[in-house]
Amino acid sequence: MADLSKITCIEDLRAIAQRRVPRMFYDYADSGSYTQGTYRANEEDFQKIKLRQRVAVNMQGRSTRTTMIGQDVTMPVAIAPTGLTGMQHADGEILAAKAAKAFGIPFTLSTMSICSLEDIAAHTEHHPFWFQLYVMRDKAFMERLIDRAKAANCSALQVTLDLQILGQRHKDIKNGLSTPPKPTLKNLLNLATKPRWCMGMLGTQRRFMGNIVGHVQGVSDMGSLASWTADQFDPTLNWNDVEWIKKRWGGKLILKGLMDAEDARLAAQTGADALVVSNHGGRQLDGAPSSIEALPSMVEAAGKDIEVWMDGGIRSGQDVLKARALGAQGTLIGRSFLYGLGAFGQEGVTKALSIIHKELDTTMAFCGHTNINQVGAEILVPGTYPQPFPKPFSAA
């Protein structure tokens, strides 16, 4: 058991993960597209929002419990779907799912995960979890994925809408990102400095994309996987696809990757249960607003028929509280849990969740509240937080 008593913030976990995870996989998780301007703004714009400190308020009996699409959660946080999580740490998706289960928050498995749907179900005793689906050209494969998600006891399907084409991430190209790592001299030298990671990977058979390899005809190794995946993201994705998925799935549906008010209104019309205000962690359209800056417009446009969540830049419980104050029913965390996973495995994910929960609970109290469900914009200093964007000009 690692001694995590001196780990006090997510930044501590990030620094350790950077030392322990091979460069190509650390950079894959911790970078944005092109200039990385939106990636940086996701964090920086949270810091501009100031909190109102209240005093002489009874702070006993605090509760951060709430619901996300009707599911009880310890705090308004879920683990976001992140690709190649099992390359941050051996069996990473399994470890993160177990940590989330124990903490009482949802875990979301990515289509592009290393561990499979069946792996997560088997190692969490069929505890309900969420599954993230990409819209692909191979509709028969999508049908099988949806059916496998049902069989694995997934309680919600999260459809990502902002990856029809890929934004360029310079570090991935420079590092020659692949799973497993290509045996170049540069990569081998870097791996030699990561003995803990290497020992973990030697101890598992899960080194490829478990939801794909063995489930698609002709895809049995890295070469065939790479060529198949490169041609699969569907640039023709439209709202009719969402309707088809909704009917095929038949359960709780979450739409992820929305940043525009018009898209929020269209999402509400689909009958989906939640939408996630997200710019893919700054990994797609560089130059887009930060997620927290876009949130008020999305809440206003979505109305009451669909829950609004957000992700992007959350590194503390204060960030969660600010998002909640601006109308987000829930939040998703990606890099924050990945740092913990890369640093210390399952214990690190638990530590990341504990850090965020403690900061959320303490900051809520300092702002004069004891119940997360009663928090609103009144806890924020006027003039420091984003307002809904003006409606865009349209020619007559």
Q: Cα dihedral angle (31, 43, 77, 310), rounded to 10 degrees?
A: -90
Query: What length does the chain have?
Result: 396
Q: Are 158 and 132 in contact (CB under 8 A)?
A: yes
- The two beta strands, 71-73 and 66-68, are antiparallel
pLDDT at 182: 79
Name residues whose C-beta falls within 8 Å of residue 210's C-beta, 6 or more positions apart in sequence: 86, 113, 114, 115, 116, 117, 118, 119
pLDDT score recorded for residue 232: 86
Q: What is the pTM of this model?
A: 0.95
Cβ count within 10 A of residue 286:
19
Q: Residue 38: in which H helix or E strand, if any? A: helix 37-47
Give Cα separations from 268 to 217, 262, 272, 288 (angstroms). 36, 10, 6, 22
Per-residue model confidence (pLDDT) at position 396: 45
Q: What is the pLDDT of residue 177?
A: 85
Rg of the Cα trace of the chain? 20
Burial of 265 (0-12, 13-18, 19+ CB in 10 A): middle
Answer positive or negative: Cα dihedral of 200, 204, 210, 213. positive
Q: List residues with catalytic annotation.
A: 280
3-state secondary structure of 264: helix
What are the phi and psi torsion angles at 12 (to 5°)? -60, -45
> CB neighbours (10 Å) of residue 205?
9
pLDDT (0 to 100) of residue 393: 66
Q: What is the pLDDT along the chain (396 residues), one digit of tens a residue?
A: 678 999 999 999 999 999 999 999 999 999 999 999 999 999 999 999 999 999 999 999 999 999 999 999 999 999 999 999 999 999 999 999 999 999 999 999 999 999 999 999 999 999 999 999 999 999 999 999 999 999 999 999 999 999 988 899 999 888 888 777 778 899 999 999 999 999 999 999 999 899 998 888 777 665 566 667 778 888 999 999 999 999 999 999 999 999 999 999 999 999 999 999 999 999 999 999 999 999 999 999 999 999 999 999 999 999 999 999 999 999 999 999 999 999 999 999 999 999 999 999 999 999 999 999 999 999 999 999 999 999 876 644
